[in-house]
């Protein structure tokens, strides 16, 4: 028999608490959090009993749902996971839930022909393939670009919930350049995927400017439902990334008119797969094509241009042309030095 909706909500809430190492959790704390979740998501005002939460913990510890959660009690009162990396979300799906997922996929496939669902084609195909593969590990009919070793993917769902529910976050983050992690309150606004990496567009409480945090550099976070959430005014997040390649952008950045010449061998590739949605064909002759894109000058733009090697030339602006030329010269010098 499939686990009911309320029980799953309780398990998920307990799981989120035990994963949070920022604080210690007594049974009373867990009861309070579960009661808050039942009220927030289901409108249940009666809370939850001590016996129910104790029973939930035992169920999570057992093999009944396949969780086998390593829940321990420290100092005779604090509940936690013995394995800091454990989560019930990593557990295998049971047969009943698998059947339900197949039903959902079937419904989504029927809706896929409607205009509202056009953008879901890839998602539905990926979901169907994953469900089938879970049912039969030998079958895999479609392969998507993926990186199983990429860190931070487990943050996507709770971050989405925080954005949807407008909940501030206390987040620990360590950039590649930082010597030590920082801990701060953030207001989350948008999740963005770029080249199979995920990013969070947010604003720190201490700073009025937007930041883009890589999820694989997020160490830990937890929601602050009692903290006031501050909207970011003056930005349409639906179009926030329309004028750039990648995710690197500050509030001061504006798009530039970039003119590129692509040789005749790579011209068909660039015509059929534009570098950016703003791409315009300016001219075409026997040497290749000249195109224009209107994007922010950032690291990702430089990397995209450098990826074409000798087959592309920056005609303008001069600043970008000089930067690309300098980087190509440095790359050439490195190869000459290694002869």
pLDDT tens digits, 78-91: 999 999 889 888 76
- pLDDT tens digits, 297-316: 999 999 999 999 999 999 99
Q: Is residue 196 over pLDDT 70?
A: yes
Return left, alpha or beta for 79; rule: phi > 0 is left, psi -120 to 50 is alpha, else beta.
Answer: beta
Determine the Cα–Cα distance for residues 245 and 195; give it in Å rounded to an integer: 11
Sequence-distant (6+) residues with CB within 8 A of 82 are 70, 71, 72
Q: For 2-44, how does the pLDDT look when each residue is reduced to its tens digit (9 = 90+)? A: 457 788 899 999 999 999 888 899 999 999 999 998 888 888 8
Question: How would you classify the pairing of strands 211-214 and 197-204?
Answer: antiparallel
Is 312:294 a contact under the CB 8 Å cutoff?
Answer: no
Q: Are 184 and 206 in contact (CB under 8 A)?
A: yes
Of 210 and 134, the structure prediction assigns the larger pLDDT to: 210
Contacts of 296 (CB under 8 A, 6+ apart): 243, 244, 248, 249, 253, 254, 255, 256
Angle (CA) 84 86 92, round 5°: 175
**What is the rounded radius of gyration, in angstroms, for the C-alpha atoms of the chain?**
25
Residues across the chain = 339
Measured CA to CA, the distance from residue 288 to residue 161 in angstroms comes to 48
Phi and psi at residue 147, to the nearest 5°? -140, 95
> Could you report how far apart the first and last alpha carbons of the chain are, in Å?
68
DSSP-H helix ranges across the chain: 5-19, 27-42, 50-61, 95-111, 121-135, 156-164, 267-272, 299-307, 318-337
Q: What is the pLDDT of residue 250?
A: 80
The residue with greater pLDDT, 107 or 312, is 312
122 within 8 A of 129, measured Cβ to Cβ: no
Number of C-beta neighbours around residue 206 at 10 A: 8
Task: State how beta strands 78-81 and 312-316 pair.
Answer: unpaired
Nearest to 225 by CA among 271, 158, 137, 270: 158
**CA distances from residue 283 to 37, 287, 320 in whole angstroms, order as listed:** 59, 11, 21
Locate tokens 């400017």: which residue? Answer: 209
Q: Which residue has the higher pLDDT, 171 or 1?
A: 171
Task: Please give the Cα distance from 286 to 104 (Å, whole number).
Answer: 53
> Is the model more confident about 3 or about 186?
186
**Contact 278/293 with Cβ under 8 angstroms?**
yes
In this predicted structure, what is the pLDDT of residue 314? Answer: 96
* Encoded tokens for 331: 């790359």
Strand partners, 54: none
Can you tell me whether residue 50 is helix, strand or coil? Answer: helix
User: Residue 316: helix, strand or coil by DSSP?
Assistant: strand
């Amino acid at each position: 028999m499939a686990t009911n909706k309320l029980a799953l909500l309780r398990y998920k809430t307990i799981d989120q608490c035990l994963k949070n190492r920022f604080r210690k959790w007594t049974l009373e704390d867990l009861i309070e959090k579960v009661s808050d979740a039942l009220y927030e998501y289901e409108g249940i005002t009666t809370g939850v009993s001590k016996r129910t939460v104790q029973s939930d913990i035992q169920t999570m510890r057992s093999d009944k749902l396949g969780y086998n959660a390593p829940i321990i009690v420290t100092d005779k009162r604090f509940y936690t996971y013995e394995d800091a990396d454990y989560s019930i979300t990593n557990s295998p799906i049971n047969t009943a839930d698998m059947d339900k997922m197949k039903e959902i996929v079937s419904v989504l496939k029927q809706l896929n022909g409607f205009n509202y669902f056009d953008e879901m084609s890839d998602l539905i195909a990926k979901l169907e393939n994953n469900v089938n593969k879970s049912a039969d590990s030998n079958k895999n009919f479609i392969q998507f670009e993926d990186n199983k070793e990429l860190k931070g993917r487990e943050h996507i769902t709770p971050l989405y919930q925080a954005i949807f529910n407008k909940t501030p976050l206390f987040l620990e983050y360590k950039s590649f350049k930082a010597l030590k992690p920082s801990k701060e309150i953030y207001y989350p606004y948008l999740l963005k995927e770029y080249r199979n990496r995920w990013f969070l567009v947010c604003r720190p409480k201490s700073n009025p400017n937007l930041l883009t945090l890589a999820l694989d550099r997020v160490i830990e976070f937890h929601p602050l439902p009692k903290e006031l959430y501050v909207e970011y005014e003056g930005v349409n997040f639906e179009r926030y990334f329309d004028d750039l390649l990648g995710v690197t952008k500050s509030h001061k950045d504006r798009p530039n008119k970039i003119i590129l010449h692509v040789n005749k061998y790579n011209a068909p590739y660039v015509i059929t797969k534009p570098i950016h949605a703003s791409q315009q064909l300016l001219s075409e002759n026997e040497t290749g094509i000249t195109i224009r894109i209107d994007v922010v000058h950032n690291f990702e733009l430089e990397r995209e241009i450098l990826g074409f090697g000798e087959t592309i030339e920056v005609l303008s602006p001069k600043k970008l042309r000089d930067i690309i030329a300098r980087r190509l010269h440095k790359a050439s010098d490195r190869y000459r030095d290694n002869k």
